[in-house]
């Protein structure tokens, strides 16, 4: 085969794929803009678009005049009056990885022909609708959408109803100077809380019409494009300003021009700007920040799909100019999509520690947020029925942070009739016992209390962090001991010996020593922790503490009646029944006996009265995972010395105690200049103050 023929066939494949992509993109555009019923996510649309764009860049002869890439995402609405933008409205080039951000910077260096340092402003990339606001002599005179970049829709009436858009910018007095004509660019969004409340209201008012409100962005964009501004007024729209497009007259010369200063100026004029904007001196910090921010994207009140990195210095930004429709001085770092669609190929059933049967979806593998997903939870059978998810369906999958992916819903329009309903199994897939449904409950359970899977799950829970906290028995450990026949119940753990462990795979002398030491330490866990670890349905540490307040020993609790427990504030009748029923069960009583016989002390927790007052007047906020204390323990420690534990960071917070994977609370503390301690720092603070007191 000759060289040309290879190239030709590659070209043929590319041509076919390009045609297919164009067809798909046209179809999805139609669904999105005309029918209002998108069947793929924005991220998937972008990925199809990017693929086509890449093919066309490689083989420019394949570009057709009607290619979606040539339309540059026009979202013009024919019913609205049109506005011609004074200059084309630009959009941002995208980067998906640290390397692509570095490549962006490398291109800048090449254009500037230097490697001089400059600062960056990093902002959230709002996932909303871009608007261009024109102020004349301080008055809002025009609001337009981006449209096709050249011509936009006039949405002035709707935008006037948005409270966060100033109708009039204060002029004179102490107000900052305002040019005669000021054009501001911003983004209209709906805050997540507002959207939830709005959906609930719509559900109540017009249950059949709510499917139209697919997500906050579509709802915001739909609201703005109504001819009747009353509709926009009835939707909770918010507008964030993020730039000045144009400032006329001599005054324009005196306005702040660097991006960070522009945002401060806009805020001083009464515009809403995001709190999550930061300025950095070097690119490594920028990259670390945008990557770390992904984990906190949900802490913001609005949806974002990435971060925007801008060269802060206006002189450099302007000198860099424009490539195509993108300014060279800015780039959008896009987060990986959190939602994807794929096929549900099978359903399997898991059994939890209470015996509850949980359906799990087996998926055609998809790559999302940096990992391949093959499984997603379906929660419970009621959920499956409500969402009408079937085997064989195309389903929407969500993966947010570290949470297990779950199935949001099916795409019924992609069905071909071969899909099959999902029904609860009749027998437990692990022990073949009958599956039962408790009266009045939505869940199905394995009826066998000795079901091996159920036992394994309960034992894993028992040894876990926050329960008995037996280090060295992470996930696989418990099952290995069960399979070796060394443990059957919780109490067996406390009778383990070095001789029993030695023959097991992976158990060296040191590991055995560590494990036995941590089991020994667990024997001293207070009664409340032991009971909470037993996995009585609905009975966690908080409930146990309530119970122990009135019935402070195991003997007392075991002999309490339903009426007595029901009388405790915070304990309802159902819970009282569960607790009394659990303690009445002979096997459970035997287990408690055996725990005690094997050395578990089950003593009441130490007196909760403050051990000192050295933290009196101080408020602490806990965030992230501390190396040794659980959150409850850290809070108890602080309170036992007279300190208070708050849930959110404010100027009144004295200290933030931060552990691993600390979130937005840590950032806020840093912003407000509040002292941050780690666990050792907290212990040291208490020790220091105690020492002072004794002096
Ligand atoms: S600056 C030169 N900053 O993202 C273009 N855009 O293609 C000016 N967006 O539709 C954009 N948040 O509406 C900028 N903090 C932010 C933004 C932002 C969202 C939107 C913008 C545009 C798209 C970029």
Q: How far is the CA of 92 from the centre of ligand 1 (A)?
A: 6
Domain membership flag for residue 456 = yes
Note the pLDDT of residue 263: 97
Judge if 360 and 280 occupy the same domain.
Answer: no
User: What average pLDDT does range 456-477 have in this prediction?
Assistant: 86
Nearest protein CA to atom 11 of ligand 1, as residue: 91
Catalytic residues: 125
Q: What's the pLDDT tens digit per position in 408-439?
A: 899 988 899 999 999 999 999 999 999 999 77
Identify whether 44 is part of a domain: no
Distance 141 CA to ligand 1 centre (A): 22
Q: What is the CATH number of the domain that holds 653?
A: 3.40.50.10190
211 has a pLDDT exceeding 60: no
- For 306-330, write each residue's pLDDT tens digit: 999 999 999 999 999 998 889 999 9
Residue with CA closest to ligand 1 atom 23: 91
The total number of residues shown for the chain amounts to 695
Percent pLDDT > 90 in the chain is: 46
- For the chain, what is the domain count? 5
Average of per-residue pLDDT across 446-464? 93
32-77 tens-digit pLDDT: 765 666 777 777 777 788 888 888 888 888 888 777 776 545 566 7
Q: Region 277-298: what's the mean pLDDT?
A: 92
Q: How far is the CA of 563 from the centre of ligand 1 (A)?
A: 61
Ligand 1: residue of 123, 131, 187 to mutate (most ligand atoms within 8 A of CB) is 187
- Same domain for 341 and 330? no
* Listed range (17-31, 107-121, 135-149, 494-508) with the worst mean pLDDT: 17-31
Are 484 and 508 contained in the same domain? yes
* Distance (Å, whole) CA 635 – CA 640: 8
Whether 462 and 507 map to the same domain: the answer is yes
Q: To the nearest whole percent, how much of the chain has pLDDT over 70?
A: 92
Rounded to an integer, the average pLDDT of 169-177 is: 80
Q: Average pLDDT over the chain, rounded to whole?
A: 86
C-alpha closest to that of 307 among 216, 368, 214, 242: 242
pTM of the model: 0.52
Question: Whose C-alpha lies nearest to ligand 1, atom 12?
Answer: 125
Instruction: Evaluate whether residue 196 is within a structural domain.
Output: yes
Mean pLDDT of 463-474: 84
Q: What pLDDT is recorded for position 400?
A: 57
Are 155 and 300 found together in one domain? yes
* CA–centroid distance, residue 277 to ligand 1 (Å): 14
Of 440, 462, 493, the position where a domain reaches its end is 440
Q: Verify that 213 and 303 share a domain, yes or no.
A: yes
Q: What is the CATH number of the domain that holds 390?
A: 2.40.50.140
- Residues 88 and 188 grouped into a single domain: yes
Cα 140–Cα 143–Cα 149 angle in degrees, nearest 5: 145
Which residue spans within 434-501 are E strands per DSSP? 435-437, 444-446
Shared domain check, 137 and 234: yes
Both tokens of 580, joined, read 């009394």
Nearest-atom index, ligand 1, CA of 123: 15
Among residues 319, 170, 142, 332, the alpha carbon closest in space to that of 242 is found at 332
Question: How do residues 577-635 score in pLDDT, each as one tens digit?
Answer: 999 999 999 999 999 999 999 999 998 876 545 577 888 889 999 998 888 788 888 88
Higher pLDDT, 172 or 164: 164
Q: How far is the CA of 125 from the centre of ligand 1 (A)?
A: 6
In 369-434, beta strands by DSSP E: 371-377, 390-391, 394-398, 406-410, 420-421
Residue of 149, 217, 242, 323 to mutate, ligand 1, most atoms within 8 A of C-beta: 242
pLDDT given at position 433: 96
Mean per-residue pLDDT for 363-371? Answer: 75
Cα(36)–Cα(27) distance, rounded to whole angstroms? 12
**Any domain includes 38:** no
Establish if 66 belongs to a structural domain.
Answer: no
**The pLDDT value given to residue 204:** 76
Residue 31 is assigned to a structural domain of this protein: no
Question: Which CATH number characterizes residue 470's domain?
Answer: 1.10.150.20
pLDDT in tens, 651-665: 889 999 998 888 788
pLDDT at residue 261 greater than cutoff 60: yes
d(CA 442, CA 329): 55
Q: Which of residues 387, 411, 440 is at a domain's end? A: 440
| 403 and 532 both lie in a single domain | no
Residue ranges making up the domain that contains 499: 452-522
Atom of ligand 1 nearest to the CA of 330: 2
The whole-number pLDDT of residue 497 equals 96
Output the ligand 1 site: residues, CB below 6 A: 90-92, 123, 125-126, 130, 146, 187, 242-243, 308, 327, 330, 332
Q: Measuring CA to CA, which residue among 146, 93, 147 is closest to residue 324?
A: 93
- 257 and 139 both lie in a single domain: yes
Q: Mark whether 167 and 240 lie in a shared domain.
A: yes
User: Counting atoms of ligand 1 from 1, which one is nearest the CA of 332?
Assistant: 24
State the average pLDDT over residues 535-551. Answer: 87
Residues 425 and 471 grouped into a single domain: no
Whether 241 maps to a domain, the answer reads: yes
Report the nearest-CA residue for atom 7 of ligand 1: 91
Query: 206 CA distance to ligand 1 centroid (A)?
Result: 34
Domain presence at residue 60: no
């Amino acid at each position: 085969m000759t060289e040309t023929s290879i190239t030709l066939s590659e070209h043929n494949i590319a041509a076919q794929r390009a045609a297919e992509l164009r067809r798909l993109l046209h179809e999805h555009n139609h669904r999105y803009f005309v029918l209002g019923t998108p069947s793929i996510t924005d991220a998937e649309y972008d990925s199809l678009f990017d693929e086509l764009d890449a093919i066309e860049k490689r083989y420019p002869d394949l570009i057709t005049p009607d290619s979606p890439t040539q339309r540059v995402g026009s979202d013009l609405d024919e019913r609205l009056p049109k506005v011609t933008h004074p200059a084309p409205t630009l959009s941002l080039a995208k980067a998906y990885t640290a390397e692509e951000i570095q490549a962006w910077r490398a291109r800048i260096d090449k254009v500037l022909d230097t490697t001089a340092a400059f600062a960056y402003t990093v902002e959230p990339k709002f996932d909303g609708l871009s608007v261009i606001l024109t102020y004349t002599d301080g008055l809002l005179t025009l609001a337009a959408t981006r449209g096709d970049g050249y011509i936009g829709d006039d949405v002035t009436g709707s935008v006037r109803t948005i409270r966060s858009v100033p109708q009039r910018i204060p002029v004179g007095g102490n107000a900052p100077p305002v040019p005669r004509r000021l054009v501001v660019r911003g983004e209209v969004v709906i805050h997540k809380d507002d959207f939830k409340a709005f959906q609930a209201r719509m559900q109540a008012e017009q249950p059949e019409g709510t499917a139209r409100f697919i997500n906050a962005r579509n709802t915001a964009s739909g609201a703005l494009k109504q001819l009747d501004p009353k509709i926009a007024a009835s939707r909770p729209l918010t507008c964030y300003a993020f730039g000045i497009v144009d400032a006329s007259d001599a005054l324009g010369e005196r306005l702040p021009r660097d991006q960070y200063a522009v945002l401060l100026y806009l805020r001083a004029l009464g515009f809403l700007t995001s709190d999550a904007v930061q300025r950095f001196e070097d690119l490594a910090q920028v990259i670390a920040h945008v990557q770390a921010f992904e984990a906190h994207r949900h802490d913001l009140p609005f949806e974002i799909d990435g971060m925007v990195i801008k060269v802060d210095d206006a002189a450099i930004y302007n000198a860099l100019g424009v490539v195509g429709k993108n300014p060279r001085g800015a780039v959008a770092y896009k987060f990986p999509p959190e939602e994807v669609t794929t096929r549900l190929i099978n359903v399997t059933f898991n059994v939890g520690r209470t015996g509850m049967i949980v359906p799990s979806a087996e998926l055609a593998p998809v790559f999302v947020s940096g990992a391949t997903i093959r499984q997603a939870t379906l929660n419970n059978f009621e959920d499956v029925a409500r969402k009408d998810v079937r085997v064989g369906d195309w389903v929407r999958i969500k993966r947010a942070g570290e949470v297990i992916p779950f199935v949001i819903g099916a795409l019924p329009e992609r069905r071909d009739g071969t899909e099959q309903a999902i029904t609860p199994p009749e027998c437990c897939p692990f022990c073949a016992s009958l599956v039962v449904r408790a009266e009045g409950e939505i869940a199905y359970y394995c009826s066998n209390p000795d079901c091996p899977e159920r036992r394994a799950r309960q034992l894993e829970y028992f040894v876990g962090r926050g329960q008995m906290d037996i280090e060295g028995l992470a996930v696989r450990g418990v099952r290995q001991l069960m399979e070796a026949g060394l443990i059957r119940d919780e109490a067996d753990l406390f009778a383990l010996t070095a001789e029993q462990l030695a023959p097991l795979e992976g158990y060296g002398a040191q590991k055995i020593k560590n494990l036995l030491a941590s089991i020994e330490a667990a024997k001293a866990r207070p009664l409340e922790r032991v009971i909470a670890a037993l996995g009585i349905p609905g009975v966690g540490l908080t409930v146990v503490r309530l119970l122990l307040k009135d019935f402070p020993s195991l003997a007392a609790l075991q002999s309490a009646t339903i009426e007595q427990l029901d009388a405790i504030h915070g304990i309802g009748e159902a819970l009282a029944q569960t607790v009394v029923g659990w303690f009445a069960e002979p096997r459970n009583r035997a287990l408690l006996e055996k725990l005690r016989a094997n050395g578990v002390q089950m003593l009441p927790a130490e007196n909760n009265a403050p051990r000192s007052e050295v933290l009196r007047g101080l408020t602490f906020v806990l965030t992230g995972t501390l190396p040794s204390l659980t959150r409850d323990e850290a809070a108890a420690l602080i309170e036992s010395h007279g300190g208070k534990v708050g849930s959110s960071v404010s100027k009144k917070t004295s200290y933030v105690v931060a552990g691993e994977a600390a979130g937005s609370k840590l950032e806020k503390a840093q912003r407000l200049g509040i002292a941050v301690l780690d666990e050792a720092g907290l212990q040291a603070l208490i020790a220091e103050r105690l020492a002072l007191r004794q002096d």
